[in-house]
Structures are given as C-alpha cells and as structure tokens.
Structure 1
Amino acid sequence: MPESLEDLVELLDLEKLDADVYRGRQPQTSAQRVFGGQVLGQALVAASDTIEPERVVHSLHGYFLRPGDTAVPIEYQVERIRDGKSFSSRRVVASQRDRTIFYMSASYQRPEPGLDHSDPMPTDLVPPEEAPTLASVFEQASGRKAEDWNKEWAALDVRLAALSGRQFWIRAAGKLPGDSALHACVLAYASDLTLLGASLLPHGIIIGDKRIQPASLDHALWFHRPFRADEWLLYDQASPSASGARGFATGRLFSSDGVLVASVAQEGLIRPVGLDLEEEQG
C-alpha cells in the first residue's frame, strides 16, 4: 500500500489509455490481494474524469467480484450511462487479464439548495490529538510491530476515538490540493480500511486474525456535504448483523465540528477458518 500521502495521490493518478479507458498502477505491498479501497478510489477517479467539473459525486455502489492481483495493473472502462439536467450516472468496470474483478455505479449532481437535517455527532470521544494511533493499537492487539502497519497505511492518519473500537479519527497524512473530486476519492479509499472490522468486534476478533478469512463483497458510499479528506473526520461504525459467513457494517463520517459529511455501508466475507464456533458462541 502507499507509504505516504504523495504515494497515494500518485496511485490515484490514472493513465488514460483511450476515450473512457484508464489504467491504474499498483503500489509496493506485501498484501496477497489488492486492497478494496484502492479499487474504489481508482474507479471513482476514472468516473469523475468523464464528468463536468461543476457536478459532484453524491453516491457510489460497488461490488468486488474477484481478488485483484497486486502484480498486475488494473484497467478501468467507464460507461456514460446518462447526463441529465441535474444528474449524471456512470458505470465503471475494473478488470485484470480480461477478467472483471469489480464494478461500480456512481451518481453525480449539480449542487442545488434544499431541505437540510442530519444526525448529531457522537460525544464522549478522545480528541484526535490525544487518541492512540491505529498502528499502536494494532501492535498491542496483534503483537506485530507498528512499523508493519505503517509500511502499508502511512498515507492515512488513523486514531482510536473510543475504547469501544467503533469510532476512529481519520484523515490523509498530509495536505491535499483543493480538488473536491480528489478528496472524495481519498475518502473512498479510506472508507474501506476499518469498516469490516466492526462486524468482528461483537465476537472478540480483530481483522488480521488467522481464524477469519475477510474480504470486501460490496461497498456503498453517500456524500452528503462538502469536506476535506486532509482534515479530521470521525468515522462512527456499527454492525447490525453477521450471518452466513458475512458481516454487515455501516458508518457515518463527521467533520471535527460535528457536520455529517458522508455515510457508508458494506457487507464483507468473514469466513471462519479453524474457529470453534460453538466455543465462540458460548
């Protein structure tokens, strides 16, 4: 994964091969398969490149079909579904070796005024300046060195906001340009990092536990209000259900001043591997 924010921005800078066809590079990584957030972010970059600048993404829905090979570039084909007076729709198919690994639908809107309400931000949180880094939490929980985490995820600054393990402060680890489309793509990338883990918390298991085979299956993201991905966002997560070797989790992202800027939902594979379910459930 990108070892710095500069590496992440470079990762999201796609090569244009033809009209509506793009190629995404791969980062140096020890991972066995491509990180789902990388495919989400790169697919959103491809879709956004075909949209008029004044229209902003308000939702995306993606399905992960096959594991991505970290040694092979990913090709993104954009289909221009519709351009209406207010909304534009795009479909993106990501492939490797002529096999589809992911597809996404995204919708864009020309900004307009309307009714406005939102949930309040959770309280009783550790301020980001005082919160432990996720790398240190990872080290304490897994026994693996924090440096192992930072080698893969140093492009993001992630901190534990509450002992429940459901709330995190998250931001890009550095300053980003003012391009709102880039901030949306960085948030899409980051939104996949901790969410599936929320479905393991009720069972006392963390992502990375060898007894669980995890993988993102589908991911939906709604953008409600303007934000900056390089400023602190609270990622408030919950898991209403786990069944059939799948975990379902939802998330809300708030700016540090309490404004709800985005919502997320994801279902992922959490297949037991060598886990005694009777003991775990008992």
Structure 2
Amino acid sequence: MPEAPSALDDLLDLLDLERIEQDIFRGRSRSAIVPRVFGGQVAAQAMVAAGRTVPADRLAHSLHAYFLVPGDPGAPIVYEVDRIRDGRSFTTRRVVAVQHGRPIFHLSASFQAYEEGLDHQAGMPDAPDPESLPTAEEMLPRHLPEDIARRLVEARAAVDLRYAGTPPWGSVGEPREPRSQVWFRTNGKLADDPLLHVVLATYVSDMTLLDSVLLAHGRGGWAVGDVVGASLDHAMWFHRPFRADEWLLYDQESPSAAAGRGLGQARIWTRDGRLAISVIQEGVVRVPRR
C-alpha cells in the first residue's frame, strides 16, 4: 500500500494553486478551528500566485497585505494577479483574493534579481535551544481543554513550533513583558525552491505574532475566550536566504495596543545567527462584552 501522506504533504497540497488563466489561480481551503480561513493560508497562497508570474531568478524581498473580510473555509478562493512592474532589477505584483464575488484580501509583493550590496544586521537575541523545549503535543494539553488542545495540535501538525516560554493561554491573569519567542520548522524536508521557503515562512508568521499583545495584559486569546481577534494587515521583508525546514527563531514583541487594535513586530533568525526576515502585523484585539 502507498504510504499515507504526511501533514506537511497535505499543507503543501493546500498551498498549491490551480492555474485558471495566465494570471488567475484558484486555491482550496480547509476546515478551520475558527469559522474563517486562516490568514496565513491566504497570504501564503497569494505569494504562490504572485511568484508563479515572476522569473525564477527574482527572489521575494517583501510583501505588504491587508485582510479585508473573513474568508469562508467552505469555498474556493480565486487569486487575480496584476503585473504592476517588470523592471531591470525589481518585479512587483499585486494579488487580490476573491470569494463569493468580493475581495477578501489583497497583497503587494516585490521580487529582486540578486545583487551584492552593503551588509549589516542586529545581533541575535538569546534563546534556549529548540530541542530543549516541549513540542506542541507535550505543551498544549498542559494549558488548554483537551478538545481545543487536540484541534490546535492537528491544525499545526505540519509545523514543529516550540514556545521558549509560557504562551499567553498558559498564563492568563498574569501580565508579563510583551515579548514572545518561538522556534519553528516544517515537519519534513522541503524542495530547494526559494519561493517555497518564503511561502511556508509566510504561512507560519501569522500563527503567533499577536501573542506578545496578549502577554502584556494577561489575556489568553480566542483559545480561552477572553479576547476576540483577527489580523488586519501584515508585512514581511526577506533579508537573507533561509530554509523553512531548518530551525528559525521567531522573536516577537508588541510596542503598542490601543483603540481595539494591537501591533506586533518581530525578527526571524536562522539558527546560526543570520537575520532572515522582519515582520510587522496589526490586528483587532477586543475584549468581549459580558
């Protein structure tokens, strides 16, 4: 009998797109823990659509996106690519994700032909070795009801994500420094295509970035029902080559929360200390009315 597909195989299949026309693609969704499409999925699929219209020698260096309305996990998503610019060094694409005849998300992405240039970076923060930290299967049942922990483990099965400290839903009622660290990598090897690694990092980047907002207020988030949240916008800059199937440190902090919104900013480092990605996201963070 053929070997059953792994969770990573399932995720890669989900992120793959069907080409309908030259610059129009269709993606699938799958059941979500919350009644909307996971934002990281839409952003990752949009990067796949953009990347498939760009020459292979041009690498993604930034994306800027807005989540407009919640996506329907029961319906396909159509991605329409606009070829904004094809310059000598940079290529720009705009992608609109459409469901039920209306835009739910849009993204601008820029790609660059490789060139030498000035090079410096900030120092990598201290963090425990990822192997010393509990896996999701070990940690989640300690802090969450069994059914929620099981669904989270299943939803994240393609990614090995390990918290360097107690997650927000493990320290409810205990405000802490608004900073969170997680190590992550895919649960399996990936092909060498640089776009694939960008796509997987984009997918994971939406999982934990607003945790630091919750930590500042001792809130646990949707998992314990004390906060209602959703991503509003998302930006990433890809500085140096990396592999999403090797350990990456996601160092996150929140400089501000106000007016029902919270801001998260982060840096993603390779294990050997190279600054690979910078990330910023703002999201809705509301306390439910009782």
TM class, shorter-chain normalised? over 0.9
Q: Distance in 2 between the 1:82 and 1:223 partners?
A: 19
2:41 matched residue in structure 1: 38
Q: Find the aligned partners of 1:205 and 1:67 in 2 and give their Cα distance.
A: 23
Question: What's the CA shift string for 1:58-98, capped at 9, x where partnerless?
Answer: 00000000000000000000000000000000000001011
For 1:111-126, list aligned pairs within 5 A: 111-123=114-126, 125-126=127-128
Q: Summarize the alignment of residues 52-91 of structure 1 with structure 2, pairs less than 5 Å apart.
A: 52-91=55-94
Q: Which residue of 2 aligns with 1:235?
A: 250
SS of equivalent to 1:203: coil
Q: Structure 1 residues 97 and 220 mapped into 2: Cα distance closer, same or farther (>3 Å)? A: same
For 2:141, give the aligned amino acid. E
In structure 2, distance between residues paired with 1:67 and 1:105: 19
Higher mean Cα deviation, 33-42 or 144-153?
144-153
After superposition, give the CA deviation of every residue in 1:170-228 in whole Å (9 maximum; x if it has no partner). 11111111111011000000000000121111111123231211100000000000000
SS at structure 2 position matched to 1:44: helix
SS in 1 for 2:13: helix
Q: Deviations over 1:223-243 (max 9, x none)?
A: 000000000000000000000
Unaligned ranges ≥5, structure 2: 167-176
In the alignment, which of 166, 176, 197 is matched to residue 190 of structure 2?
Answer: 176
Tell me the residue number matched to 2:144.
Answer: 142
**CA–CA separation in structure 1 for the residues paired with 2:243 and 2:107:** 23
Query: Who is 1:268 aligned against?
Result: 283
Which amino acid is 1:132 matched to?
P
- Report the TM-score, using the length of structure 2 for normalisation: 0.90
Whole-Å Cα distance in 2 between the matches of residues 40 and 56 of structure 1? 17
The one of 212, 233, 249 aligned to 1:198: 212
Q: Which residue of 1 aligns with 2:27?
A: 24
How many residue pairs get matched? 273
- Cα deviation for residue 253 of structure 1 reads 0.3
> Which position in structure 2 is the counterpart of 1:95?
98
After superposition, the C-alpha distances for 1:131-150 in whole angstroms (9 at most, x for unaligned) are 11244433323233542222
**How far apart are the structure 1 equivalents of 2:234 and 2:134?**
27
The amino acid of 2:146's aligned partner reads: R
57-66 vs 139-148, greater mean Cα deviation: 139-148
Distance in structure 2 (CA, Å) of the matches to 1:3 and 1:28: 17
Distance 1:73 1:3 in 2: 23
Q: Is the 8 A contact 2:186 2:246 kept in 1?
A: yes
Q: 1:262 is matched by which residue type in structure 2?
A: I
Normalising by structure 1, report the TM-score: 0.93
What is the percentage of aligned positions where both structures have the same residue? 49
What's the C-alpha RMSD, in Å, of the aligned pairs?
Answer: 1.6
Opposite residue 145 of structure 2, the aligned amino acid is G
Looking at structure 2, the residues matched to 29 and 65 of structure 1 have their Cα atoms a distance apart, in angstroms, of 18
1:166, 1:198 within 8 Å by CA — same for their partners in 2?
A: yes
Question: Match for 2:288: what amino acid?
Answer: V
Task: Output the amino acid matched with 2:229.
Answer: P
